[in-house]
Amino acid sequence: MSHKPLITFTKHGIYCPQGDFYIDPWHAVDRAVVTHAHADHARYGMKNYLCHEISKPIIQSRISGDFAVEGISYGKTKTINGVKLSLHPAGHIIGSAQVRLEYKGYVSVVSGDYKTGDDGISTPFEPVTCHEFVTESTFGLPVYRWLPRKIVEENMRNWVVKNQQQNKTSVFTAYSLGKAQRLMVALQSLGRIYVHSAIAKLNEVILQSGVQLPEYSPFQLGSDRKNVQGQIVIVPPAASDSEMIRKVPKTATAICSGWMQVRGHRRWQSADAGFAISDHADWDGLISAVKATGAEKIHVTHGYTEPFARYLNENGFNAQVVKTRFGEGEE
Amino acid sequence: MKKFAQLFSELESSNKTNDKIAALVNYFESADEKDKIWCLALFTGKRPKRPVKTTLMKEWVVEVSKIPDWLFLECYSTVGDLGETLSLLLPPPAQIHDKPLHQWMEEIKMLYPHTDEEKKAYVTEAWNGLNANERFIFNKLIGGSFRIGVSHKMLVNALARYSGEDASSLMHSIMGKWDVTTTRFTELINGETINADNSRPYPFCLAYPLEGEPEELGKITNWSAEYKWDGIRGQIVKRNNEIFIWSRGEELVTDQFPDLVEAVAGINHDFVADGEILVVKDGRVMNFNELQKRLNRKTVSAKMLKELPAGFYAYDLPEFGFEDLRNRPLTERRNKLRSFWPQTSRLLLSENLGFESWDHLAEIRQQSREVNSEGIMLKRLDSPYHSGRKRGDWWKWKVDPMTIDAVLIYAQKGSGRRSAYYTDYTFAIRDNDKLVTIAKAYSGLTDKEIMEITRFVRDNSLEKFGPVRTVKPELVFEIAFEGIGYSSRHKSGVAVRFPRIARWRRDKSVDEIDTIESVKALIR
């Protein structure tokens, strides 16, 4: 490469020297471009955040302190020290974006977390051609191949109906941001949907940004214990074994996560059901995304980095593993 | 196979015994007769021998899914189950095969004489018509264990609820000799294949652990003391020339101990004796590890019978000459037992330990490891043979475990339920400036601690040997165990019995772990 690299990997995170900003940094820096509002990508302590416009209010509600956030829409170009920056749908959660950087004709794309399938609520993933592509590999093994969304959702809906026939409350464990809203869409019309306060708080923010959500009620610990009977409750993983859930009389619990693809993971979690429904690309999705970029250089971050990079290298790509702090405490 | 697949997913989607039993009952109520008998055969291990080698199945999947061998191994290491790995790697099915369970099983049985090419054609064709879950089951139908937590006992309880038959005669029936191709399901569970009266055991009389001091039990003259043996608690039932050996888990283990059966056949009485199955060699009780080698085998080889002879230490006599003695005092039952028990090298009598005071007994207890016993059993002399656990008459007074502090050096992911986390650990102690392995331990930590260690392992891996990670020697654990002896299996030259993690010593650093000298000093 004749010019100096457009992005580098530093101890603070992914850095663009020409633009003098970081992408999803894990240490406090002045200028951070953030792919999406999950806590392992949008961290506390930056002076300035740049993100998609839907992520903006979420970041404002999740992160405290004195900072500035700028939200831009997909496809709009912003120039920083000569670097042309634009955001493109990553399909991971609502507001999630791939960051495209262009300088003197060289293009780098940092995809953050992404999935290639349409989840019914996030803007679907769009491949962006580039010279250099930074990809996640959360599910970078060929045992992780998701069933079509229609089928998994049908399985979940059937499970709820079966629970209702047995007068049981269906309790879903799902991440507050992204998965929870996706479940609300998939399960609407089967019953009243109650959500944990952490999810309710995010829903309000999301609604304000103009995204449509199905009807839901915040779960009130005192009064709703009986009302939820036979209905649907969605809680974040941290609350799955909480007082709130233990007090509901007859429950059936389900975990919704890509890890549920493997029996061992399902059984370890000791839930009544596990649905392999993920906001990350599966094996085929990762490979097709990498191919679609046409990139000459692939950086593989968090997940099954080693096998995924090795497989890419054996199949004509130039891939290397990059150690990041993404994926901590996530899915 | 849809119904069986449904049963299977219901069994694995609940941890509650009642749910599992309900799922089984539901299956027995709705499934085809021929499928039900196969279901029983599969869950009791009465299955045909594997007709297709796993290595071949692996080769075919690698070929069909077009992945390199190393990637297959990565996947297998993550999934932790071969049949499941195969099912997840195959491309989606192109058609639908809907055949009943018994038809699949009969077809699988027919595979034996065929060539590998013909087997491949059959198996790949089957895979192509099944979804991932059904494929997984199909792979298990060919061979391998189901590991879904259905014990014989649970199966019997479900059958009892479904049929209204008595549980112990059902256990006798399903554990007995029957052939899946010639036995009808109703015949089997109605007990037409057996005479249930001959086999029926009694509920075991169980003891609580002694928590306070033995002085609190009062006068020593009211108590008998005997060694608490560390084998398999069992009842030998001999009635009308039929012999049955039941384990405490209420499973029939008769076939695993032909040497005991032969010895008992020489007794000319009908009785039910309660005692401990052990490996007894040259008059010495061997440790549990030796006994373990004989368990859960389809056949016990002549070599094994010779090298690991089984013995039975009789404790009690719930029945003699068809008379129920359970409400007679212990002294009377013991006297009766002593009067006819042959007391050979195989059929031994658990001796009453003479002791002059509780302090004296405490001394004997301290020595109990020397005879490979795990402590003392205290029984009130006038106690009946209770059904189950009753507080007050029988107490177990085990020796305290030994402990050492050791450092975690290798970690491996678990299998099955635990395949997502590093749950299998190898610990080391210090030998001068080296670390030498002393024990592997799997249990004793909370799920939360395991997750924390998993994170540590991920961040601090030094090397990778297949699924094993070498980790920075930093985390110190207190390892508890029941016994210790010299062994060539571990680099330290010693091996411990029943190692488990007593607690995570976050307060200790690797400089403070035990040394080989301090550990060897524990060997008596």
Mean pLDDT by 10 residues, chain A (331 residues): 82 96 96 95 95 96 93 97 98 97 97 96 97 96 95 95 93 93 95 94 93 91 78 87 77 90 75 90 97 97 93 96 77 37
Contacts of A270 in chain B (CB under 8 A): 15
Query: Domain for residue B102, yes or no?
Result: yes
Same domain for B224 and B369? yes
Q: List CB contacts (< 8 A) between B415 and chain A.
A: 264
Size of interface A-B (CB pairs under 8 A): 70
- Taking an 8 Å cut-off on Cβ atoms, the answer to whether A311 and B88 are in contact is no
User: Is B75's CB within 8 Å of A265's CB?
Assistant: no
Q: Do B451 and B326 have their domain in common?
A: no
Q: How far is B94 from chain A (nearest CA, A)?
A: 14
Q: Which value, to the nearest 10 degrees, does the dihedral of the CA atoms of residues B316, B321, B322, B326 take? A: -30
- The residue ranges of every structural domain in chain A are 8-143+280-321, 149-275
Task: Please determine, for residue B487, whether its predicted confidence score (pLDDT) is greater than 80.
Answer: no
Within this chain, do residues B269 and B257 fall inside the same structural domain, yes or no? yes
**Domain final residue, candidates B342, B368, B398:** B398
Residue with tokens 């290491």: B77
Phi, psi at A269, each rounded to 5°: -75, -10
Q: Which residues of A touch B (CB under 8 A)?
A: 141-145, 259, 261-268, 270, 272-274, 304, 307, 310-311, 314
- The verdict on B288 and B330 lying in the same domain is yes
Closest chain A C-alpha to B415 CA, distance in angstroms: 7
* Distance from C-alpha of A193 to C-alpha of A218, rounded to nearest angstrom: 9
Residues B425 and B370 in one domain: no
Task: Give A205-242 pLDDT, tens digit per residue.
Answer: 999 988 999 999 998 776 677 788 899 999 998 777 67
Residues of A in contact with B75 (CB under 8 A): 141-143
* B380 and B433 part of one domain: no
Higher-pLDDT residue of B273, B301: B273
Res. B173: pLDDT tops 90:
no
DSSP collapsed to 3 states, B397-415? EECCCEEEEEEEEEEEECC
In the structure encoding, which two tokens stand for residue B485, read together?
A: 């002896």
B381, part of any domain = yes
Question: CA nearest B143: which of B54, B36, B41, B11?
Answer: B54
Burial of B445-473, coded b for 16+ CB within 10 Å and e otherwise, reads beeeebeebbebbeebeeeeeebbbbbeb
Which residue has tokens 């694995």?
A: B12
Q: What is the CATH number of the domain that holds B456?
A: 2.40.50.140
- Residue B317 belongs to some domain of the structure: yes
- The residue range of the domain holding B412 is 402-520
CATH code of the domain occupying A149-275: 3.40.50.10890
Given a cut of 90, is residue B465 above it in pLDDT?
no
Query: Nearest CA of chain B to the CA of A217: how many Å?
Result: 28
Q: The tokens 């968090």 sit on which residue?
A: A302
Report how many domains make up chain B.
Answer: 3
> Per-residue pLDDT tens for B312-371?
999 999 999 999 999 999 999 999 999 999 999 999 999 999 999 999 999 999 888 888
Verify that B105 and B62 share a domain, yes or no: yes
Domain A8-143+280-321, CATH homologous superfamily name and number: Ribonuclease Z/Hydroxyacylglutathione hydrolase-like (3.60.15.10)
How crowded is residue B293: how many other Cβ atoms within 10 Å of its Cβ?
Answer: 12
CA geometry: angle B170, B172, B175, nearest 5 deg: 105
B415-425 per-position pLDDT tens digit: 655 667 888 89
Place of tokens 């004793």: B444
Of the three residues B358, B377, B398, the one that is the final residue of a domain is: B398
Sequential DSSP letters for B131-155:
-HHHHHHHHHHHSS---SS--HHHH
Contact A143 B75 (CB under 8 A): yes
Per-residue pLDDT at A248: 84
pLDDT tens-place string over residues B75-134: 998 888 899 999 999 999 999 999 999 999 999 999 999 999 999 999 999 999 998 889
Indicate whether this model's pTM tops 0.80. Answer: no
- Residues from chain A contacting residue B88 (CB–CB below 8 Å): 142-145, 261-262
C-alpha distance from residue B225 to each of B143, B210, B248, B353, B380 (Å): 47, 13, 21, 5, 9
B389 and B317, same structural domain?
yes
Domain co-membership, B250 together with B321? yes
CA dihedral of residues B302, B303, B308, B311 (deg, nearest 10): 20
Please state, in angstroms and rounded to a whole number, the distance separating the CA atoms of residues B265 and B310: 15
Q: Which of B67, B79, B89 comes nearest A262 by C-beta?
A: B79
Cβ-contact A259, A331 below 8 angstroms: yes
d(CA A215, CA A200): 11
Within this chain, do residues B393 and B468 fall inside the same structural domain, yes or no? no
Which chain A residues are closer than 8 Å to B65 by Cβ?
A: 142
What is the distance, to the nearest Å, from the Cα of residue A62 to the centroid of all Cα atoms in its chain? 15
Query: Are B464 and B381 in the same domain?
Result: no
Q: For residues B225 and B361, is the Cβ–Cβ distance under 8 A? A: yes
Within 8 A of B445 by CB-CB distance, chain A residues are none
Nearest neighbour of B67 by CB, restricted to A142, A265, A270: A142
What type of residue sits at position B294? Answer: R
B150 located within any domain: no
Whether residue B411 sits in one domain with residue B368: no
Instruction: Give domain status of residue B200, yes or no.
Output: no
CA atoms within 13 A on the CB side of A76: 10
Q: What is the pLDDT of residues B205-229, one digit of tens each?
A: 999 989 888 999 999 999 999 999 9
Here the CATH number for the domain that contains residue B282 is 3.30.470.30
Does B255 have pLDDT greater than 90?
A: no
- 3-class secondary structure, B443: coil
DSSP code at position A327: T
Q: What DSSP assignment string belongs to B246-288?
A: EETTS-B-GGG-HHHHHHHHT--S-EEEEEEEEEEETTEEPPH
Q: What is the mean pLDDT of residues B185-197?
A: 85
The residue out of B362, B379, B398 marking a domain boundary is B398
When CB atoms are compared, the residue of A142, A259, A273 closest to B13 is A273
Residue B357 domain-assigned (yes or no): yes
Q: What is the DSSP letter of B27?
A: H
